[in-house]
Amino acid sequence: LGEPVPNGVSADPLVTTFLRWEQRLEQQNRRREAGLAPRLLRFLRRKFYLFRRSALMTMISLRNLALGRPPPEQLAQEVTFANWRGEEEEGRPEDSARGDPEL
* pLDDT tens-digit series, residues 30-45: 888 888 898 899 899 9
The answer to whether residue 30 is domain-embedded is: yes
Is 81 within 8 Å of 56 (Cβ atoms)?
Answer: yes
pLDDT of residue 86: 76
Residues of the chain with pLDDT under 70: 1-3, 5-6, 8-9, 87-103
The answer to whether residue 29 is domain-embedded is: yes
Number of domains the chain contains: 1
The answer to whether residue 65 is domain-embedded is: yes
Q: Crossing angle for the helix pair 72-83 and 36-67, nearest 10 degrees? A: 160
Is 30 within 8 Å of 67 (Cβ atoms)?
Answer: no
